[in-house]
Amino acid sequence: MSWMIICICFGVSVLLTPLIRKIALYFDITDKPDQRRINIKPIPSLGGLAIFISFVIGMFLLPIENEFLWPLLIAAFVMVLTGLLDDIMEFKARYKLIGQILAAFIIVFWGNISIDFINLPFGGEIHFGVLSIPLTIIWIVAITNAINLIDGLDGLAAGVSTIALLTILGMAFIMGDVLVIMIASVLIAGTLGFLPYNFNPAKIFMGDTGALFLGFIISILSVMGFKNVTFISLIVPILILGVPISDTIFAIIRRMVTKQPIAMADKSHLHHCLLRLGFTHRQTVILIYAIAALFSLFAFIFTMSTLWGSMILIGVLLVLIEVLIETLGLVGSTYRPLLNLFKITKEDKID
């Protein structure tokens, strides 16, 4: 793939972002301060349009067959339109979900993207059959919303998405998957062109326009790169997207425990908890970048480990995640079973 195409995508994003910022300001399409937002003044939104336009230009320049190009672009357009309308009019959650499911249907049925079966580690296979389509749609919608949920601080969603995309790109390079390499490369270029305007202090937000689009493409690339693989390898895309997936799961559990609607926004996400611990805005973002990079490193180690090594790695990772959950209070301030167990054990030793 020509480096020229990557440079063009990067340049388009860099040049378009300030223009879209002016348009958003002119029409007053901004994120205004409220109880669930961090910003203290209105910030223009719609920055995701620059990433999307850069991506579309790159896709037309790449040598990709029309049989996949058009389903991907049309499905992506539906997702971007859903986010754009939400940024302008603030859709209810159910309307956003309809747009996400529609985009997923388009790429699954027209683009022929699905997870058909997995090989079990101790022999045998699980064929999903008719369940492959709903499972793939659930995966796409879940990852799309996971990226959207972490879009709470300047540069957070763009940076975490870039780390995930770089990891997928590296995995695709190892596996020789040229199509995934090409798509991931142009999207990384567009996101990096936008990030300087979005990093703290942000001049523009990507909005749901960008967050839904990034989550959508990342979910598709993870399916393309890791479909029909072993059960252990199925963990790899989950590890790559560890930060948004875990934050989403904690949010669902937290809202179920407090008996709040699952779709209700709150200020107890990972970045909110780190801010409450005293980290600055930039420190919080960089720390979450580091956590995302750690997940990606685990993913690479995972692919090179033996079966039992992978099992041990999963166990270690789960313990680390549990400690992080309890320390930061991601589920609730009183949820500390593992830390309490350590405390009791330590007291017994002292006695």
| Residue 193 and residue 14 in contact, taking contact as beta carbons nearer than 8 Å | yes
pLDDT of residue 1: 55
Span 265-292, average pLDDT: 82
Q: Is 215 exposed, middle or buried (0-12, 13-18, 19+ CB in 10 A)?
A: buried
- What residues contact residue 14 under an 8 Å CB cut-off, 6+ apart? 193, 194, 196
Q: Is 208 annotated as a binding residue?
A: yes
> What letter represents residue 297's amino acid?
L
pLDDT of residue 342: 66
Element (H, E) at 31: strand 30-31
Mind listing the pLDDT tens digit for each residue in 107-141? 999 998 887 777 655 556 677 888 889 989 998 99
pLDDT score of 35 more than 80:
no
The closest of 292, 68, 50, 52 to 178, measured between CA atoms, is 68
87 among the known binding-site residues? no
Domain locations along the chain: 3-228
Compute the distance between CA of residue 185 and CA of residue 126 in angstroms, rounded to an integer.
32
* Cα diameter, the chain: 72
Instruction: State residue 149's pLDDT score.
Output: 81
- Among 171-175, 205-209, 283-287, 314-318, the minimum mean pLDDT is found in 314-318
Q: pTM of the prediction? A: 0.86
Q: What is the pLDDT of residue 245?
A: 81
What is the Cβ-side half-sphere exposure of residue 144, based on CA atoms within 13 angstroms? 30
Least confident of 50-64, 81-95, 247-261: 247-261
